[in-house]
Amino acid sequence: MILAKISPKRYTFNMNSKICVIGSSNIDQIAYTQNIPADGETLFGDSFQMGFGGKGANQAVMAGLLGADVYMITCLGDDVYKEMTITNYQANNVNTDHIQMVRGSSGVAPIWVDSTGQNRIIVIPGANNEIDATKAISSMEEIGDIAVLVGQCEIPMDVNHEVFKYARSNSIITIFNPAPATTLDKEFLNHISWLIPNENEFKLISGMEPNNENFMKFKKEVPCNLIVTLGEKGAVLVEEDGTKYFEAPTVEAVDTTGAGDSFIGTFAYELSEENSPEECIKKAVAKASQSVTKKGTQSSYS
């Protein structure tokens, strides 16, 4: 959804199990170009688009569009992007009652997309770094009866530690997307029900190349369920006794930005509907594949 064209539309859905997303809200500043410039090189681009992003925001919006009863816990600055971001959440069926506010700038993400649809992203967290864990836990207590909690690495990891610890102690299913990639300690992994990295993130957090043998080896080292997303190749569910691959449909990729978040948001929704992991992954792969056929991040979701 482009900022200049935002409209206060509302969706009517049947409310399902509650999903809480804690994470980032960013304004995406997307430049489309034939080629990414080399060091010291200046090139003319093809077009520019400003839109709503942040991994947490993307995942919440995807779940909201599918009809989830989704609540967003995030932090915004007191700048021009604050009201736009809140309106966008509300327009996409995401509850905004628990958004935190601080002085300073909201998060932004300059993004370059080349002619193949591949992207390069720099995230400047801003207010995302100021999210308060105590307030977040109070919000979760107020929301009540949360079925699924979703998180990522675009907010401070100490906040994630506290919030995920609370969630697991209250029998909430937890999904963690370790992006941008960072190492995860064993204590934190004990609070995760589903760990979902992509291939590059898997390599960083495991120290191993992303292949079937290493997927199995890493699964034996972690106490949680493991899915690795494989881009155009789909995704793999890694279990104690083997792996199950889920192929993606062949599509013409225009922009891969936000495809992983589409997968996470869809998986969270389908899991909250008590579908099998296999069915959840199939739906998530399909939605992620669909998203890369359109430009933009949240504007590519449906």
State how far the alpha carbon of 188 is from the alpha carbons of 47, 92, 139, 159, 182, in Å.
41, 31, 21, 11, 12
CA gap 135, 166 in Å, rounded:
12
C-alpha dist (Å) from residue 298 to 60, 116, 258 = 10, 19, 7
28, 69, 255, 261: the catalytic one is 261
Structure tokens at 33: 């170009």
Question: What ranges in 231-300 are assigned the alpha helix state H?
Answer: 259-272, 277-291
d(CA 279, CA 219): 21
Which phi and psi (to 5°) does residue 195 adopt?
-100, 125
Helix residue ranges per DSSP H, the chain: 55-65, 81-91, 133-143, 157-169, 186-189, 199-206, 212-219, 259-272, 277-291
For residue 261, indicate whether it is catalytic: yes
By annotation, the residues acting in catalysis are 261
